[in-house]
Amino acid sequence: MKIAYRPQCLIALTAAVLAGCAVTPQPMTQEAVRERVQADQSRIYSNQEEIAAPIGFDEALARALKYNLDYRLKVMESAVNISMAELSRYDMLPNILVSAGYMARNNDAGSTSYDVVTGQDLWGGNPTSSQERRRRIAGAEFSWSILDFGVSYYRARQQADQLLISEERRKRVMQTITEDIRSAYWRAVGAQRLTQQTENLIERVRATLERSQEAEKKGLLPPREALNYQRQLLDALGLLATRRQELEYAKHELAALMNIPPGTAFTLREDDEPALMGVPANVGELEDFALNRRSELREEDYRRRITAADARRQLLSLLPNLSLSANAQYDTNRYLYNNNWLDSSLRASFNLMRLASLPAMNKSQKAQEQLDDARRLALSMAVLTQVRVALERYRMSLNELDVARESSRVDQRLLSFSKAALVTRMESEMDLVRAEVRALNSDYQRHLAYARAQAAFGRIYNSIGLEVLPDEDFEHLSVSELAVRLASHLHQAETETFPKLAVFAAPPLPSVRLAITAGEGMGEKVGEGLPGIDDKLYAAVRQTLERNQFKLTDAPGEGMTLQLALNLPLAADGTRKASAVWTLRGADGAVIGSETYRSVLPAHVTARILAAFAEAATSAHLTTIQGWLHQRPSPQATGDK
C-alpha cells in the first residue's frame, strides 16, 4: 500500500504541533488554593499523640523533636540525601541498553551502482534493494568505560559526604530546638504559676482605681492627690500587663515548638526548679571538646573531603579512556544472510587538548583547598569565642538569678509588713498595692532570670557540640518513651562532660509538715471574739512557704514538722504585743531550731489582721528556716524582730 503525501497534510501537521507548543500561564484558582490550605492544615497536626496530662520539660522536648516541622524538614533532607547516595552507586555499573522496534516505509529502498573508473552504470542501471519495507529489529548493548567508572566513583563518595553533612545539620537543628525549649518552657512555667495571682491583683488595682475616681468626683480627695494616686495605679497596671505578656508569649512559643494546634488547652507540670550547675572551671577542656564535636567543624571536614574528591575526579578526566562494548543484534530483514549477529569493540581514547588545562586545574584546586582551610580556621575561632561567651553569659545569668531570688525574698517580706501595717491603719491601701505589685514583679523577674539561666546553660550545651540524642531512629517511639530516653541521655552527657561543676543554688529542701497552733491569748473573748486558726490563715502561710520553694506535705508519719505558734496577749494600753514562734522539730520530736517574731496589733484583731501578721512572721524567717532544713548553721538572731 502506498501512502500519498500532500502539502496540505504537512501544513496541518505543522500547525497542530505549533499549537501544542503555545503554552499560556494559568494562575492558581482560589478554590485550588483553598483546597491546598485545608490539606496542609490537616497534615501539619496529623499523627500526634493526645495531651493527657500536664507536660514536663522532657515531654516538651520529646514532642518538639517528634513533631516540630523544622526538624521534620531536616529529616526529610537526610532521607533525600540517603536516596541520592544509594542512587549514585549505580552510576559505577556498566551500561546495558536493550532496544526493540518496528520500521516501515511507503516504498522500496532501492539503489543502483556505477563503475568509478569508467563512470558506466552497472547491471544495466536497474535499481536493486536488500531491505524489506517492513521489518522488526531488536538489540542488547553492553558498554563499560574505565573513565566513567572513575568519575562515578568519586561522585558517589562526594554524595556520601553530602549525606554526612545533612546529618550534622540535623543534629544542629536538634540542639537549637533543645535550647529554644529550655527558654520557652521555664518562662511558660513562670507564667502559669503567676497567672491567677496576676489576674487577682489586676482586678484589685482596677477596683481601687475606680474607688479613687469616685472619691475624686465626690470631692473626698484633693484633685492633685487623687490624680497622683490614679497615676501610680495605672503605672502598676501597665507593669503587670507587660510582665504578663512577656511570659504568656512563652506559652504560645512553646506550643509552636511542640507543633501543638493553636487554641489547644494544655498545662505544664509545675515541678521544682532543677538546681543549676555552677560555671565550668575546665574551660580548656571544653574548648577542645567543642573543636572535636561541633557539627559545623565536622561539616567543614566533610567539605574538605568533597573538595579532594572533586580534584581527583578532574585529574582522572585527563587520563586516557578505555571503553569496552558488545552488541547483540537481531533484524527480520529476509534479505540478510545472518539475521542475528554480535558486535564487539575495545577502544582507547585520549583527549590531548585537555592536558593544556592541567596548570589551571592545579591552581584552582590549590586555591579551593586554601579557601577550605581558611573557612575552617575562621569557624574554629568563632567556636572558641562562642564557648567563652556562653560561659560568661551563664556566669552573668547566675548572678542575675541570685539577685532576683534575693529581691523576691525581700519584696515578699516588705509585702507582709505592708499588709500588717494596713490592718493596723499605719499605711494606706496604695502602699499595699505598690508592695503587692513590686512583690509580684519580683516573682516575674525571678522566673525570667531562671529561664534566662536555663537558656544560657543551653548555649553552653550547644557551643561545645553535645548531642541531644545519638539514636537517629526514634520515630517509632512514643512521646513518653522518647522523653525517658532524652532525660537519661541528657543527664549522662552533662555528668560526663561537666564533672568539675559545682551545683549553683542549694539542694532541694526536704519535705516538712506544717502545723499552726493557737498560743497565749487566742482563746479569750474580746468584742466579737478573736479569730481562730482557719483555712484562710493556713492557706496564706502555706502559699508564702511554697512560693519560696518549700516542700510541704500533709502525709502523716515520720519526718520533720514546722510549727507556728501564734500568741496574742492583751497589753495594758489596749494594744496587743503579738508574737509568732517558729519551731522546727525532727522526726524524733527534738527541736532543730526556734525563732520568734514580734509585732504590735490592735486590741480588736480580725481574721485579716491575723493572716497578715502570720504572713509577715513567715517572710521574716524564711532564710533561717531554710538553714534549719539544710542542716547547716544559720544566722539566728537571739533578740526579737
- DSSP per position, 419-446: HHHHHTTSS-HHHHHHHHHHHHHHHHHH
Task: Look at the chain and count its residues.
Answer: 641
Identify whether 160 is part of a domain. Answer: no
Highest mean pLDDT, choosing among 8-17, 355-364, 465-474: 355-364
Closest to 564 measured CA to CA, from 512, 609, 510: 512
Share of the chain above pLDDT 90, in %: 0
Main-chain dihedrals φ then ψ at residue 163, nearest 5 degrees? -60, -45
Other residues' Cβ atoms within 10 Å of the Cβ of residue 64: 24
The per-residue pLDDT for 426 is 35
pLDDT tens, residue by residue, 599-612: 777 777 777 778 77
The per-residue pLDDT for 284 is 81
Identify whether 125 is part of a domain. Answer: no
Query: Which CATH number belongs to the domain containing residue 631 in this structure?
Result: 3.30.160.100
Number of domains in the chain: 1
Higher local confidence (pLDDT), 619 or 108: 108
Share of the chain above pLDDT 70, in %: 82
Distances (CA, A) of 257 to 116, 249, 262, 407, 468: 86, 12, 12, 32, 16
Distances (CA, A) of 34 to 28, 40, 141, 259, 261: 10, 10, 51, 22, 19
- pLDDT band for 640, please (50, 70, 90 cuts): very low
By CB neighbour count within 10 A (0-12 exposed, 13-18 middle, 19+ buried), where does 40 fall? exposed
The per-residue pLDDT for 633 is 41
Contacts of 568 (CB under 8 A, 6+ apart): 519, 520, 521, 522, 530, 576, 578, 601, 605, 610
DSSP per-residue codes, 442-477? HHHHHHHHHHHHHHHHHHHHHHTT--S-S----TTS
Among 29-43, 348-362, 365-379, 399-413, the minimum mean pLDDT is found in 29-43
pLDDT tens, residue by residue, 132-142: 888 898 888 88
The per-residue pLDDT for 631 is 63
Q: For residue 220, give the 3-state DSSP assignment.
A: coil
Other residues' Cβ atoms within 10 Å of the Cβ of residue 321: 16
By CB neighbour count within 10 A (0-12 exposed, 13-18 middle, 19+ buried), where does 462 fall? buried
- Average pLDDT on 57-67 reads 85
C-alpha–C-alpha distance, residues 35 and 43, integer Å = 12
The per-residue pLDDT for 473 is 64
pLDDT of 622 above 80: no
Identify whether 155 is part of a domain. Answer: no
C-alpha–C-alpha distance, residues 560 and 575, integer Å = 35
Closest to 503 measured CA to CA, from 296, 277, 333, 174: 277
The per-residue pLDDT for 176 is 85
C-alpha–C-alpha distance, residues 183 and 254, integer Å = 9
- Nearest-5° angle of CA 144, CA 149, CA 155? 145
- pLDDT band for 75, please (50, 70, 90 cuts): low
The per-residue pLDDT for 558 is 62
Domain extent at residue 599: 506-641
Contacts of 549 (CB under 8 A, 6+ apart): 272, 273, 508, 509
Identify whether 400 is part of a domain. Answer: no
Identify whether 167 is part of a domain. Answer: no
Higher local confidence (pLDDT), 639 or 17: 17
The per-residue pLDDT for 88 is 66
The per-residue pLDDT for 108 is 82
Identify whether 33 is part of a domain. Answer: no
The per-residue pLDDT for 364 is 83
Higher local confidence (pLDDT), 10 or 543: 543
- pLDDT band for 427, please (50, 70, 90 cuts): very low
Q: For residue 66, give the 3-state DSSP assignment.
A: helix
Q: H/E element holding 567? A: strand 560-567
Which sign does the torsion angle of CA 520, 523, 524, 528 carry? positive
The per-residue pLDDT for 102 is 87
The per-residue pLDDT for 605 is 77
pLDDT of 388 above 80: yes
Q: Locate all alpha helices (DSSP H) within 521-606, ordered by sequence.
A: 535-547
C-alpha–C-alpha distance, residues 168 and 7, integer Å = 64
- Average pLDDT on 541-563 reads 78
In the beta sheet, which residues pair with residue 52?
none
pLDDT of 91 above 60: yes
C-alpha–C-alpha distance, residues 267 and 270, integer Å = 9
Average pLDDT, the chain: 78
From edge to edge, which strands make up the β-sheet containing 575-585?
A: 551-552, 511-518, 560-567, 575-585, 591-602
Helix axes 358-423, 607-620, angle to 10 degrees: 130
Closest to 334 measured CA to CA, from 495, 488, 129: 129
Place of cell 514536663: 56
Measure CA of the first residue to CA of the last residue in the chain; give whole Å.
123
The per-residue pLDDT for 6 is 56
- pLDDT band for 421, please (50, 70, 90 cuts): low
pLDDT tens, residue by residue, 448-483: 888 889 889 888 888 888 888 776 666 777 888 888
- Average pLDDT on 315-328 reads 83
Q: For residue 51, give the 3-state DSSP assignment.
A: coil
Higher local confidence (pLDDT), 2 or 509: 509
Q: What would the grid cell of residue 5 be?
A: 503525501
Q: What would the grid cell of residue 557 be?
A: 508519719
